[in-house]
Amino acid sequence: MNSNTPIKFLLVTGVVVASVIGIITTAQDEKGFHSIFDGKSLEGWVGEKALWKIEDKAITGTTTAEAPIKGNTFLVWEAGEVDDFELKLEYKIENGNSGIQVRSFRRGGPDKPFVIGGYQADFEAGTQWSGTIYGEGYHGILAKRGQSRKRIEGETFEDLKAVGDPAELQTHIKTGEWNSYHITAKGNQITTRINGKVMAELVDEAPDARRSGLLALQLHAGPAMKVQFRDIKLKRLALEDRKKVVFIAGKPSHPARTHEHNAGCLLLTKQINEHHADKMVATTYTNGWPSDPSAFQNADSVVMFADGGQRHPAFFHLKTLEALRNRGVGVGAIHYAVEMVPGETNDMLASCIGGAFEIDYSVNPHWVAEFGNYPKHPTAYGLKPFGINDEWYFNMRFVKGMKGVTPILSAVPPAETMSRKDGHHSGNPEVRKMVEAGDKQHVGWVYEREADGGRGFGTSGAHYHDNWANDDFRTFVLNATAWISKVEIPEAGIVTPTPTKAELDANLDPKPARKPKKAPKKPAEKKKAA
């Protein structure tokens, strides 16, 4: 959380809950820009510690002749990624050249986390390259200062109308002083401006054009240099040609391959971006509520996969959740994220997704649920009958009369789901009667919100990480994610390839192995009397 974020405290069912007021508006000026550098620390940024520091309230990167760097290295903004946006900052450089990476990617492997590739807005201490759009490890020079170019494929370009004379544009850049840099990325177009002057434009229509990725600041290999950045502000722009999905993954909690919130959200993000990028752009914030103050600025939907109760990522951010709902943003919840605490927090969650798990009412047994006979709804497109073992919570507390709620995954719980004693999650007389009667229970549903025109969904599945390999369950979640984002779903559904073992194993949380139980000691044998 940004230390400058104003906090309001409200009492929720006997618990003091801090709610971030205006995560959508906090730390932004009248034009909607959010500060992503606090002017005093490298919080939210990560790079080689020996090379970066704070000096004169500016991010400062330095190399020396005595200890030159062998390759270009970057300070990476780790609070989020950028898609369609405007970025404003001020820079000053002594010797050498530098740049600002946008929509970029890591290309150095696990042992070189600060080697970055992608679009770069160049600047230097000299007079040739400032304002140029360069592809670091990514197709080289894309548009020189003064140029407007269209990339068709690979290094094949079409020259468009020039934006100015390179020499004349250089006269607007102050050598050795602070300059303002303004980068705009909208759709497939990137524009650079220095001190208010358009320097270069790129229209990237190539098949491998990038629509989202990392933001990073460069230190260049070569002669000793010093570069500084300050007053860094970001404004996200609405995506006009596709929808923006924000996944919020909760912190680690359960044993390995269960409640894998980070790995699950990153898997879904990868499948959307690789197979349905014409419809959606997805991003994941790992390990809890985003620290990125612009996280929801251009979101069409927010999907949470996390622990519930007071560990729910949104538990201390009800005002933000309410603001998203009122803005018509789609809201989804997976597994334990369908539960907060009875009262204000659960009521808010239910108002977003149509229902919620309620202690002493809902239950959480593990059982094999058999699904089929789906309703005629876009989120059921492509689903075949299937059965799957999971911790299927049921008997949700839905909104009154289930108005606006459409159950999609419904099944009859077997009698063994009531084998435990009555408890906060395990059973109660009312739910026992329903199971005895063979009533269907809804464990995956969608919700149309009449008041704000938004949509929601919830499912209690995904306790087991490997259930993402079930094509029908995964398709339902992806269908629901697309639907709450107001994406038109094809008749076959949002189809993705079955994840490989390597894909399932990627990004698993490091969790301590459970210690094996010690075998009980055998009673000592009594000696026989002689």
Positions of CATH 3.40.50.880 in the chain: 243-505
The structure tokens 């107001």 sit at 486
- What is the model's pTM? 0.90
Instruction: Quote the Cα angle for 483-455-236, to 5°.
Output: 80
* Rounded Cα–Cα distance for residues 11 and 512 (Å): 35
* pLDDT for the residue 514: 58
Looking at domain 35-236, its CATH class is mainly beta
**CB-based burial of residue 274 (10 Å sphere; 0-12 exposed, 13-18 middle, 19+ buried)?**
exposed
* pLDDT for the residue 524: 52
- Pair 475, 494: CB distance under 8 Å: yes
**SS3 assignment, position 40:** coil
* pLDDT for the residue 20: 37
Residue 422's contacts (CB-CB under 8 Å, 6 or more residues apart) are: 428, 429
* pLDDT for the residue 517: 55
* pLDDT for the residue 1: 30
Going through 357-402 in order, the beta strands assigned E by DSSP cover: 367-371, 386-390, 397-398
Measure CA 1 to chain center.
Answer: 16
* pLDDT for the residue 427: 94
- What would the two tokens of residue 299 be? 């979101």
* Rounded Cα–Cα distance for residues 63 and 79 (Å): 25
**CB-based burial of residue 524 (10 Å sphere; 0-12 exposed, 13-18 middle, 19+ buried)?**
exposed
Quote the DSSP letter at residue 328: T
367-384 burial by CB neighbour count: b if 16+ within 10 A, else e?
bebebeebeeebbbbbbe
pLDDT in tens, the chain (530 residues): 333 333 332 333 333 333 333 333 334 455 899 999 999 999 999 999 999 999 999 999 999 999 999 999 999 999 999 999 999 999 999 999 999 999 999 998 888 999 999 999 999 999 999 999 999 999 999 999 999 999 999 999 999 999 999 999 999 999 999 999 999 999 999 999 999 999 999 999 999 999 999 999 999 999 999 999 999 999 999 999 999 999 999 999 999 999 999 999 999 999 999 999 999 999 999 999 999 999 999 999 999 999 999 999 999 999 999 999 999 999 999 999 999 999 999 999 999 999 999 999 999 999 999 999 999 999 999 999 999 999 999 999 999 999 999 999 999 999 999 999 999 999 999 999 999 999 999 999 999 999 999 999 999 999 999 999 999 999 999 999 999 999 999 999 999 999 999 999 999 999 766 555 565 555 555 444 43
Q: 42 φ, ψ to 5°? A: -95, 25
Q: Three-state SS string across 434-458, please?
A: HHHHCCCEEEEEEEECCCCCCEEEE
- What would the two tokens of residue 303 be? 């999907």
Measure CA 189 to chain center.
Answer: 23
Instruction: Quote the Cα angle for 78-154-98, to 5°.
Output: 40
- What would the two tokens of residue 129 be? 């390259």
Q: What is the dihedral of CA 485, 486, 491, 494, to 10 degrees?
A: -10
- Pair 387, 473: CB distance under 8 Å: no
* Rounded Cα–Cα distance for residues 120 and 140 (Å): 10
Q: What is the dihedral of CA 11, 12, 16, 19, to 10 degrees?
A: -90
* Rounded Cα–Cα distance for residues 317 and 250 (Å): 14
* pLDDT for the residue 15: 35
Q: Three-state SS string across 102-129, please?
A: EEEEECCCCCCCCCEEEEEEEEECCCCC
Positions of CATH 2.60.120.560 in the chain: 35-236
The structure tokens 């929720």 sit at 12
Look at residues 368, 414, 412, 361 and name the one whose alpha carbon lies nearest to residue 391.
Answer: 368
What is the per-residue DSSP string for 212-275?
SBEEEEEE-SSS-EEEEEEEEEEEE---SSSEEEEEEEPPP-SSTTBS-HHHHHHHHHHHHHHH
CB atoms within 10 A of CB 521: 6
**What distances in angstroms separate CA 510 from CA 249, 263, 284, 333, 505, one per listed residue?**
15, 11, 18, 24, 11
* Rounded Cα–Cα distance for residues 260 and 373 (Å): 30
Selecting from 3.40.630.40, 3.40.50.880, 3.40.50.2300, 3.60.40.10, what CATH number does the domain 243-505 have? 3.40.50.880
Tell me whether strands 116-124 and 133-136 are parallel, antiparallel or unpaired: antiparallel
- Pair 479, 380: CB distance under 8 Å: yes
Tell me whether strands 243-249 and 301-305 are parallel, antiparallel or unpaired: parallel
* Rounded Cα–Cα distance for residues 463 and 475 (Å): 16
Question: Measured on CA atoms in the order 479, 485, 490, 491, is the torsion positive or negative?
Answer: positive
Beta bridge partners of 455: 448
* pLDDT for the residue 511: 77
